[in-house]
Structure 1
Amino acid sequence: MGYGGIVNKQQAELLNGIALAYVGDAIFEVFVRDYLLEKGLTKPAFLQKNATKFVSAKAQAKIIRAMEEVDFLTEYELTYFKRGRNAHSKTTAKNTDVVTYRISTGFEAVVGILHLTQENERLKEFWNFCVETIEKDTA
């Protein structure tokens, strides 16, 4: 991981979808916060409103649909997307339907596996795709 390495690649690949999504959610949140601050947004209300464009289950499902349209995800990434999407979570969707919530969990699992396996270049490509997709819709 670069931080003393909690898990190696083999251990990361054995994690369940919920654990991968747990990590992926945190990593994606940091990307979004960094991005918004870089754009000059500093007021809490604006930060929260703009962050939701990225971190909501609906937004993440929209990104996945856009990725599917252009075959963006590799077979490896699709494996972990499906692992996250199909995982049985004890938490429930707050502001969306179960299907969208599960797709979002799959999205976060992809971020998690890319982070834990230190696929930093691919994670950057993934993030850039997310930004392009969201910004295109809000322009």
Structure 2
Amino acid sequence: MEKLLDVSVPLKEMSPLALAFLGDGVFDLFVREFLVGQGNCPVKKLHARAVEVVKCEAQSRFIKEILLPIMTEEEQDVYRRGRNAKVNHVPKNAQLEDYHNATGLESLFGYLYLKGDIDRLREFFNKITAQL
């Protein structure tokens, strides 16, 4: 996988919520490709499985238990910026801490994608899927 567009952005100046916006889509694409790769099944089932992986409680667990211990200092900084970003709302069924952690994970995925570090994204996602 390579970046879909050759867009150059000043990564250090990007808002953590803008990174999370992109990272949400990147993470979702990884999940969808993973699920489709496991075999053909009804779309309703695929969607239900995807929701279980992309919901903020799961993302919070992935970042805390799997990724945080192997992240570089730079990656931890991006994660913390995303986690600490001021959000305007939290989904009604989500815990605030989980939502912030998930935003941090999505910021990290957006950052790595824009940086072009697809191999690191794959490494992180492979660690996550090994726990599913």
Residues in 1 aligned to 2:30 and 2:48: alpha-carbon distance in whole angstroms: 15
How many pairs align?
Answer: 131
Q: TM-score, normalised by structure 2?
A: 0.90
The structure 1 segments of at least 4 consecutive aligned residues displaced by more than 3 Å after TM superposition are: 1-4
Name the residue aligned to 1:93: 91
Residues in 2 aligned to 1:4 and 1:47: alpha-carbon distance in whole angstroms: 27
Contact 1:36 1:51 in 2 (8 A): yes
Kindly state the Cα deviation for residue 38 of structure 1 after the two structures are TM-superposed.
0.7
Q: How does 1:1-139 map to 2 (within 5 A)?
A: 2-8=3-9, 11-67=10-66, 71-133=69-131, 135=132
Q: TM-score, normalised by structure 1?
A: 0.86
Contact 1:27 1:111 in 2 (8 A): yes
Offset from partner CA, 1:84-114 (integer Å, 9 cap, x none): 0000122322321111100000010110111
Contact 2:3 2:113 in 1 (8 A): no
Kindly state the Cα deviation for residue 45 of structure 1 after the two structures are TM-superposed.
1.9
For structure 1, the residue ranges without an aligned partner over 5 or more in a row are none
For structure 2, the residue ranges without an aligned partner over 5 or more in a row are none
Contact 1:85 1:103 in 2 (8 A): yes
Equivalent position SS for 1:100:
helix
Kindly state the Cα deviation for residue 68 of structure 1 after the two structures are TM-superposed.
5.7
The percentage of counterpart residues that share the same residue type is 30
Q: For residues 100 and 2 of structure 1, do their structure 2 counterparts lie closer, same or farther at Cα, with a shift above 3 Å needed?
A: closer
Q: For residues 4 and 104 of structure 1, do their structure 2 counterparts lie closer, same or farther at Cα, with a shift above 3 Å needed?
A: closer
Q: Which AA in structure 2 matches 1:109?
A: S
Contact 1:41 1:47 in 2 (8 A): no
Residues in 2 aligned to 1:68 and 1:125: alpha-carbon distance in whole angstroms: 10
How large is the RMSD of aligned CA atoms in angstroms? 1.7
Offset from partner CA, 1:25-46 (integer Å, 9 cap, x none): 0011011111111111431221
Residues in 2 aligned to 1:68 and 1:122: alpha-carbon distance in whole angstroms: 11
